[in-house]
Amino acid sequence: MKEKQAKETPERTGKLTAVLALATLISAFGSSFQYGYNVAVINSPALYMKAFYNDTYLERYSRPMEESFLTLLWSLSVSMYPFGGFFGSLMVAPLVNKLGRKGTLLFNNIFSIVPAVMMGVSEISKSYEIIIVARFIVGICAGLSSNVVPMYLGEISPKNLRGAIGIVPQLFITIGILSAQVLGIRNILGNDTGWTLMLGLTAIPAVIELLLLPFFPESPRYMLIQRGDEKIAKKGLQRLRGCEDVDAELSEMRLEDQSERAEGRLSVLALLSKRSLRWQLVSIVVMNMGQQLSGVNAIYYYADSIYAQAGVKSNDIQYVTVGTGAVNVVMTIAAVFIVEATGRRLLLLSGFLICCAASALLTVALKFQDSVAWMPYISISCVIIYVIGHAIGPSPIPYVVTTEMFRQSARPAAFMVAGSVHWLSNFTVGLVFPFLERGLGAFSFIIFSCICLVTLVYIWVVVPETKNQTFLEISQVFAKRNKVQIKLGDSDLPLTKVGDVGSDGEKVTAF
């Protein structure tokens, strides 16, 4: 144990070399950016795309599409994306071991370029089915990259930079959302001639990544441990660190590998049946469901229709949408600085509280918008406050806490569970929200408000602060709830500090 803790404090501090910085930027732009871009891309051109669906149907069957069928097709077009994401996240483990981390990122671009072409030709070939299928495939791309980029970056960066570099993917996701919102402005591409191009543009980051990433090293850790190729691992590490002497870090990798092997790996099934981890597991499931079912992606998928409902003038909607995207980027940057100071629990609680209040107030504002002239401003403020609340806590923290509640041996399985819950909840919101909106109108947000409240209460009662806690301390908090005894010196519970977000490379994450 002593040895492990000594290792935790780095004697040498790694520099941010040009190779490392460029590899980070290229993989985050090539993969994470696309994830965010495809979340928001169908929002602005929704009107024109629906008209295309309707026209196509009219031409084929000589009668206009029924309203309810159009709603169904549209919510499928939106939600096939997170549904594909679910499949993508299940494909992570086999692919990263077979093709490597960089290899998977390169391979993954098939799932981006093929659907980009499909979406680009959908209008000419007069088929909305193509769009729906393409959304599923590009979802696979997102599911894969949401896991593999953090893994690749975690493995190529030196310990002291892992935390900072670990934020870069999340930042590029929000930048991707913002870019799609900017391109969606009516005068740019959000019009009846531009939308196919806008959907197809996702191929550009993919092509850039395909052209540039091959010049950067594969994860040295993967080359050394999975492939046993010491020479390439060493060469890659030398380029990443910008110095010749990397033997210490290589042997450190080997040591880590041995201790991980000794611990063994917990399968998902074993995790589900492990009593001492039961409430930790329930907690990450609740937090990931709360994160998605609180409706954050409803705002990005359907922003324009929400603002239209809130009485914003149709020409102003695009700018309000861009404004929310910008707030999201700024708050994501801010969250990086706040999270280490305040701890996780406070941010989660205040984030969900803000979202709960904002969506409740939004319901009221929507209800009275016809009778009071300035209500649209209140509605817009509510959405922006909601986005701020979500960006400081519910968006980034569940991922941090999942890393901290589980040890190395259980973490891949825990992330697999968290990732599946994340994508399936995301899918549910994408599919159900248009029907909610049609059926309940203003009151659809009351549901999100309640979900935030329930999650808030759960966190208040069950989830302990995990910042700067050892794994033993965290499991002792949970021990009573799990009705298990914690014995000191139990080999199951080593005293490793888990305060550092990016403290290991075997993380599988999903945003």
Min dist. Cβ of residue 38 to ligand NAG (A):
25
Is-contact 478 462, C-beta < 8 A? Answer: no
Identity at 204, one-letter amino acid code: I
Q: Which of 65/151 has CB closer to ligand NAG?
A: 65
**Which of 14, 1, 496 is closest to 249 using CA atoms?**
14
Minimum distance of ligand NAG from residue 435's CB (angstroms): 15
CB closer to ligand NAG out of 65 and 149? 65
- The distance of closest approach from Cβ of residue 200 to ligand NAG in the complex, given in angstroms and rounded to an integer, is 25
Q: How far is 77 from 50, CA to CA, in rounded Å?
A: 10
* The three-state (H, E, C) secondary structure of 37-54, written as one string: HHHHCCCCCHHHHHHHHH
Least distance to ligand NAG, CB of residue 320, Å? 24
Closer CB to ligand NAG, 70 or 118, in the complex:
70
Q: How many helices (H) and strands (E) does the chain have?
A: 25, 0
What span, in angstroms and rounded, lies between the C-alpha atoms of 256 and 152? 17
Distance CA 2, CA 287 (A): 33
Report CA torsion sign: 42, 37, 377, 192: negative
Q: How far is the CB of 54 from ligand NAG (least distance, A)?
A: 4
Please, what is the Cα angle at 93 between 89 and 96, to 5 degrees?
105
Report in angstroms how near the CB of residue 76 gets to ligand NAG at its nearest. Answer: 15
Give whichever of 376 and 434 is closer to ligand NAG, judged by the CB atom: 434
Shortest distance in whole angstroms from residue 57 CB to ligand NAG: 8
Output the CA–CA distances (angstroms, integers) from residue 69 to 46, 66, 178, in the order listed.
15, 5, 30
Q: Shortest gap between Cβ of 419 and ligand NAG (angstroms)? A: 36
Rg (CA), the chain: 23
Q: What is the largest CA-CA distance in the chain?
A: 76
CB of 64 to ligand NAG, least distance (A): 4
Q: From CA 287, how far away is CA 348, in angstroms rounded?
A: 9
Applying CB under 6 A, which residues contact ligand NAG?
A: 54, 64-65, 67, 70
Exposure class string for 138-166: b at 16+ Cβ within 10 A, else e? bbbbbbbbbbbbbbbbbbbbbbebbbebb
Question: What are the backbone dihedrals phi and psi of residue 44, each rounded to the nearest 5 degrees, phi first?
Answer: -65, -45
Of 54 and 291, the one with the shorter C-beta distance to ligand NAG is: 54
Q: Return the number of the residue (59 or 244) whose C-beta is nearest ligand NAG.
A: 59
Report, in Å, the least distance between residue 203 CB and ligand NAG: 30
Q: Which is nearer to ligand NAG, 129 or 247 (CB)?
A: 129
DSSP class per residue in 137-188: HHHHHHHHHHHHHHHHHHHHS-GGGHHHHHHHHHHHHHHHHHHHHHHTSTTT
Surface-to-core class of residue 374, CB atoms within 10 Å of its CB (0-12 exposed, 13-18 middle, 19+ buried):
exposed
- Which CB sits closer to ligand NAG, 46 or 391? 46
Q: Which is nearer to ligand NAG, 64 or 214 (CB)?
A: 64
Closer Cβ to ligand NAG, 42 or 327, answer by number: 42
